[in-house]
Amino acid sequence: MKKLLFILIAFLAFANGNAQILDPAKWTTKIEKKSETNYLLTFNAVIENDWHLYSQFTPDGGPLPLEIIFKNQKGNFTLVGKAKESKTRTAYNDIFEVNETFFEKKGQIQQEITITNPKLREIKVDFNYQVCKDVCINIEKNFTFTVPAVSIATTAVDVLKSTVATADTVAATPVASSKMATQEEVVPLDSKPATKRGLWSIFFIAFLSGFAALLTPCVFPMIPMTVSFFTKQSKTKAKGIRNAIIYGIAIIFIYVVLGFLVTWIFGADALNALSTNVWFNIIFFVLLVTFAASFLGAFEIMLPNSWANKVDNQADRGGIIGILFMALALAIVSFSCTGPIVGTLLVEAASKGGIAPIVGMFGFSLALALPFMLFAMFPGWLNSLPKSGGWLNTVKVVLGFLELALAFKFLSNADLVLQLHFLEREVFLAIWIAIFGTLAFYLFGKITLPHDSPMTHISVGRLSFGLVVLAFTIYLIPGIWGAPLKLISGFPPPMTYSESPYGVGNSKGSSNATAQILPEGAHLGPHDLIAFEDYEKGLAYAKSVNKPILLDFTGYACVNCRKMEDYVWSDPAILKILQAEVVLISLYVDDKRELPKSEQYVSKETGKEIVSIGNKWSDFQITKFKANAQPYYIILDTEGIMLSDKPESYNSDINAYKGWLREGIDRFEKVK
């Protein structure tokens, strides 16, 4: 219902001309004097509900990141570091297969500058960014800050508002420039933390990891020892239970402090930004491989014994302080088993940003502490615990294989950013098949590692788990030949980043749709459709074959454009129409390729300089159709006249989209 209402509003706006030009983000700015030469520029955005404004740190391969351009910087001022952002939200985009980072409802950008030219009176800044909801819009905004002409003592009144020039240039082709001379106080914006779903997923993964840590040789044998200590040393049962609970709370406190320190040292926003950094991903690949090697038995990662001895001495003091040091001793002594798990959790949480490391450490420590508290309350449960043995090392080895598999996800991230094509989809899957296949052989007892106990037979549980791992390994194998592998979507590189994007033995050239020679100026679009990226060439071809035109205003970084192509255009009924009954012209409004100098111009509609191919098609959309959103579909005749009653936007209803196509095509058939 909400989506239908949005489309209805868009249609009504179209009837009123310029009213359909959307601008979901409203900006205000201020300039604050920090010293005689340093100023802080602040940009505050209020974003309409359900719209996403993408961060400058959102990774390549997805929606367009925010680009900040300082136009008159040379010889006038220098930047102090990179522009800082208020908290953003990060979520996985299954269309582009990346974690996109964006603002919701509110956002703030701050940039400190040092003025080097004392005569400077104006600072000009351009923002290029993308906002998406049911449609995507590329927006350019121009800001002008007025630098005070006189020096003022550093007091609270040093917050000097700028005369803000917000030339609202929309979708790479602005609406008419306008000056806003008001000087209003801007209240700092609240920033939204990471999504609840993202934090809950981190919590549950960490919680399960805590239970996995319990089942390692360093921790599991300590449960009965520690519980016995509290029950025997305490004068009453109630006091023993109380001390065990304090002990559990102390464990939670220690690990949460660790998560807090990671967030505090690196900064919540910095962690989020690092997740798309090449060196961050490479370093964590090396770390996880090291952790995996430790779990597999190559060596042990241990803290100095002197630390454990000193902490153990403090634990003898008794009271709450003594219990706290006992919890710290557990963390140090068990580090060779818990360290790699904690390290992996912090790496994964760091990629989420925000308070995720704190949430992760809380979930991990809660799972670690609960058994100590529960067994202290109900000592009889200790009799039901399995005896320590070789199975504890098996748990460590399994965790080692899982960490090794996860490590290659970080290496893949770095390879994707650099576009080196060293770790393409087939290579990634081959590595995973090797890792999980070897794990299956290990679980079946065909492979032994350094710390394994002699084994005459395998348990039913180990056999069952081995069968699950083997089934998963077999599931991965068809992926090398092009199977989608939806079960692990987001882990391997996308299909487009592979040696055989269409599957082994398949290519665009083998499609029936492309058996004919492509017309001049045409290329192969989605689903091997013949498409034009130039309006005039497409129009000329439509005249020559006497077919109506499907004009498609789209973008390389447009999420819902890809959704329409993947889920609506792929429908057999729709695809048949697009293949046989229309000429497809797809105009990309975010094409950054520069136009030849002779073809560059200033838009009569918006007054903006048109310098790129994307600028040209965006200006064409605004000038001719008074719209700036993508996807945006129009049925035209061979003279460029609109056939349908209204354009179509994002619409996942296949039958409705088919009806809209048929309406325009049938009208063309009647008048041709």
What are 607-646's pLDDT values in tens digits?
888 999 989 999 999 999 888 888 999 999 999 999 988 8
In 10 A of CB 295, how many CB atoms? Answer: 27
Report d(CA 272, CA 257) in Å as an integer.
20
Of 561, 421, 567, 568, which is closest to residue 496 (Cα–Cα)?
421
Give percent helix, percent strand, percent coil of the chain, each to the nearest 5: 50, 20, 35
Instruction: Answer whether the bond into residue 631 is a cis peptide, omega within 30°.
Output: yes
Report d(CA 668, CA 459) in Å as an integer.
72
What are 510-559's pLDDT values in tens digits?
444 444 578 888 988 888 899 999 999 999 999 999 999 999 999 887 87
Of 357, 337, 338, 336, which is closest to residue 346 (Cα–Cα)?
357
pLDDT at 73: 85
| Residue 445 pLDDT greater than 50, yes or no | yes
Q: Could you give the C-alpha distances from 113 to 34, 37, 40, 515, in angstroms and in order?
A: 10, 8, 6, 58
Higher pLDDT, 504 or 421: 421
> Residues for the chain: how many in total?
672
**At 144, which helix (H) or strand (E)?**
strand 136-146
What are 54-97's pLDDT values in tens digits?
999 887 777 888 989 998 888 889 998 889 999 888 887 767 76
Token code pair at residue 592: 């950054």
What are 106-142's pLDDT values in tens digits?
999 999 999 998 888 899 999 989 998 878 888 888 8
Q: Is the pTM of this model over 0.95?
A: no
Report d(CA 447, CA 358) in Å as an integer.
38
pLDDT at 292: 83
| Residue 489 pLDDT greater than 50, yes or no | yes
Report d(CA 92, CA 192) in Å as an integer.
17
Which band of pLDDT confidence, cut at 50, 70 and 90, is reported for residue 153?
very low
* DSSP collapsed to 3 states, 344-383: HHHHHHHHHCCCHHHHHHHHHHHHHHHHHHHHHHCHHHHH
Spatial neighbors of 221 by CB under 8 A, at least 6 apart, are: 388
Higher pLDDT, 8 or 317: 317
Average pLDDT in the 258-278 region? 60
pLDDT at 210: 79
Average pLDDT in the 150-178 region? 36
Q: Could you give the C-alpha distances from 300 to 6, 332, 388, 629, in angstroms and in order?
A: 59, 13, 19, 57
Walk me through the domains of the chain, giving residue ranges and CATH numbers.
Answer: 24-170 (2.60.40.1250), 196-388 (no CATH), 508-589+630-671 (3.40.30.10)
Instruction: Name, of 143-152, 278-287, 412-421, the range with top average pLDDT.
Output: 278-287
Range 583-614 burial, b when 16+ CB lie within 10 A, else e: bbbbbbbbbeeebeeeeeeebebbebebbbbb
pLDDT at 540: 94
pLDDT at 515: 45
Report d(CA 230, CA 243) in Å as an integer.
7
| Angle of helix 319-333 versus helix 335-352 axis, rounded to 10 | 90
Among 146-150, 268-272, 411-415, 489-493, whose mean pLDDT is lowest?
268-272
Average pLDDT in the 402-416 region? 83
Secondary structure of residue 222 in the 3-state scheme: helix
Average pLDDT in the 355-368 region? 81
Contact 251, 327 (CB under 8 A): yes
Report d(CA 646, CA 621) in Å as an integer.
14
- CA-based end-to-end distance of the chain: 37
| Residue 31 pLDDT greater than 60, yes or no | yes
pLDDT at 275: 53
Q: What is the phi/psi pair of residue 130, to 5°?
A: -125, 140
| Residue 316 pLDDT greater than 60, yes or no | no
Residue 287 forms beta bridges with which residues?
none
Q: Hey, which bits of 401-538 come out as E strands?
A: 522-524, 530-532
pLDDT at 221: 62
Which band of pLDDT confidence, cut at 50, 70 and 90, is reported for residue 576?
very high
CA 133 centroid distance within chain = 16
pLDDT at 171: 36
pLDDT at 161: 38
pLDDT at 586: 94
Higher pLDDT, 460 or 503: 460
| Residue 212 pLDDT greater than 80, yes or no | no
Average pLDDT in the 158-170 region? 37
| Residue 243 pLDDT greater than 60, yes or no | yes
Radius of gyration of the chain (CA): 31
pLDDT at 277: 64
Among 306-310, 476-480, 601-605, whose mean pLDDT is lowest?
306-310
| Residue 507 pLDDT greater than 50, yes or no | yes
Secondary structure of residue 388 in the 3-state scheme: coil
Average pLDDT in the 585-605 region? 90
Which band of pLDDT confidence, cut at 50, 70 and 90, is reported for residue 375?
confident
pLDDT at 398: 85
| Residue 149 pLDDT greater than 80, yes or no | no
pLDDT at 222: 66
Report d(CA 322, CA 247) in Å as an integer.
10
Say what percent of the chain tops pLDDT 90: 27
In 10 A of CB 52, how many CB atoms? Answer: 23
Of 592, 552, 533, 565, which is closest to residue 138 (Cα–Cα)?
592
Of 342, 241, 215, which is closest to residue 288 (Cα–Cα)?
342
Spatial neighbors of 329 by CB under 8 A, at least 6 apart, are: 308, 311, 312, 315
Average pLDDT in the 153-179 region? 35
Report the amino acid identity of residue 409.
Answer: K
pLDDT at 324: 73
Higher pLDDT, 599 or 306: 599
pLDDT at 18: 40
Which band of pLDDT confidence, cut at 50, 70 and 90, is reported for residue 585?
very high
| Residue 662 pLDDT greater than 60, yes or no | yes
pLDDT at 283: 81
pLDDT at 660: 95
The pLDDT mean for the chain works out to: 77
∠ CA 558-564-567, rounded to 5°: 130
Which band of pLDDT confidence, cut at 50, 70 and 90, is reported for residue 433?
very high
Token code pair at residue 156: 């609270």
